[in-house]
Amino acid sequence: MSMNNKQRHAEVVGAGFAGLTSAVALARRGWSVRVHEQGSQLREQGAGILLWQNSLRVLEDLGLIDEIYAGSMTPHAYETRMQNQTVSVEPLTDVWWRTMTRPFLHNTLATAAQREGVEIVTSSEVVGATPSGSITLASGETVEADLVIGADGVGSAVRTSLNIPHERQMSRDGITRFLVPRRKADLQKLEPDTDWDNMIDFWNLDPRVLRVLYTPANDDVLYLALMAPVDDVEGTEVPINLDVWTSIHPQLAPVLEETLKVEGKYFRYQTTRLDYWVDGRIALVGDAANAMCPALAQGGGCAMMNAFTLVEAATAASASEIPEALIAWEAIERPYTDRCQTRSQNYADTRGMSQGNQFQGEVMETMIYNPTDPNRGHLSVKGGLA
């Protein structure tokens, strides 16, 4: 690594998956890095997450894959049911994927960042940024950097301060997320023939739309995502209306009961599209750049892969060439994320995942993308796992 890279400094706004991934990657490539977290402590408020090959390759490159494996699992298959009838069971044996809790993944990245010497500042609110590479804190202090990464979420202050045109599309559905004990033995008593180590997508469209995404995150913890239309008052209630949900999904009663013991919040699906991700020495990643519906489980994956490739591009350029390198980075990476956004939004609009057998063909493009491949810009999937 050159002394030039070691002397470079990056300011990262936001300590979520995108911010921490970029921080670890930068530090490992010789940059000095400071991460600003608006909250008073580092913590991930979400529930569970599925990571596909794109983000697992990043974690592998960062030397974290063994730690990830210790606290995660690969379900036996992705099973889709409609009205309690199995539509498809997809083993996905040709795809690298793992399920885990979001707090576990967040803690793994935060610990790695601290181990690499990243400075993480909590209760540090960034209110603006300039293309020249400066950020302004709520205190009025201004800080200069060779590179600024805006990873501050769907309501990004960095994006707002740069006046980047964007559009936000709200969907008719949303979900409430929970982490609960698996209670596998109790579920097995109710449905002995079900493989409760599968990831199971329980769809119900009649007499009302109530979907449960059942995701084992590890041997002990289950991630439940309960989907209901925005205008369904009972379906969007938190704590959940147990009678309503168990009337549709009686076999899940033991774990649905557990949701009453933990906090939850209903989130409406949304997609955010920007005119551009890059302005001078500033690049936006994650929900700040491309919030998407969770249909393909790619919000976190795209955030991590884009953060990683951004660091690679900035590191390969000279200090003066960083703005041009960021433009070239967006040109290579953005089409993959844009297509993933569109596919996820289409699934949300049509509720098409209820038909089963969805993980095939071009839908897999972003999932099997390898951000560590130097030739990745020339690769795409059109119609199969090529």
Residue 110 lies in domain: 3-71+101-168+271-378
Q: How confident is the model over 55-78, as pLDDT tens digits?
A: 999 999 999 999 999 999 999 999
Q: Which residues contact 122 (CB under 8 A, 6 or more apart)?
A: 37, 39, 40, 41, 42
Is the same domain home to 124 and 66?
A: yes
Is the same domain home to 47 and 147?
A: yes
Number of folded domains in the chain? 2
- Looking at the chain, the whole-number percentage of residues with pLDDT higher than 70 is 95
Report yes or no: 247 and 234 within 8 Å, Cβ to Cβ.
no
Q: Quick one: pLDDT at residue 375?
A: 83
CATH number of the CATH domain containing 184: 3.30.9.10
Q: Quick one: pLDDT at residue 166?
A: 95
Is the same domain home to 202 and 116?
A: no
End residue of a domain, out of 236, 268, 300: 268
In a domain, 27, yes or no: yes
Is the same domain home to 49 and 135?
A: yes
Q: How confident is the model over 120-129, as pLDDT tens digits?
A: 999 999 999 9
Mean pLDDT of the region 1-20: 80
In a domain, 259, yes or no: yes
Q: For residue 6, is pLDDT > 80?
A: no
Is the same domain home to 246 and 277?
A: no
Report yes or no: 179 and 49 within 8 Å, Cβ to Cβ.
no
End residue of a domain, out of 247, 268, 289: 268
Q: How confident is the model over 317-371, as pLDDT tens digits?
A: 999 999 999 999 999 999 999 999 999 999 999 999 999 998 989 999 999 999 9
Q: Quick one: pLDDT at residue 287?
A: 96
- What is the phi/psi pair of residue 385, to 5°? -80, 85
Is the same domain home to 134 and 50?
A: yes
Closest CA to 62 of 50, 51, 48: 51
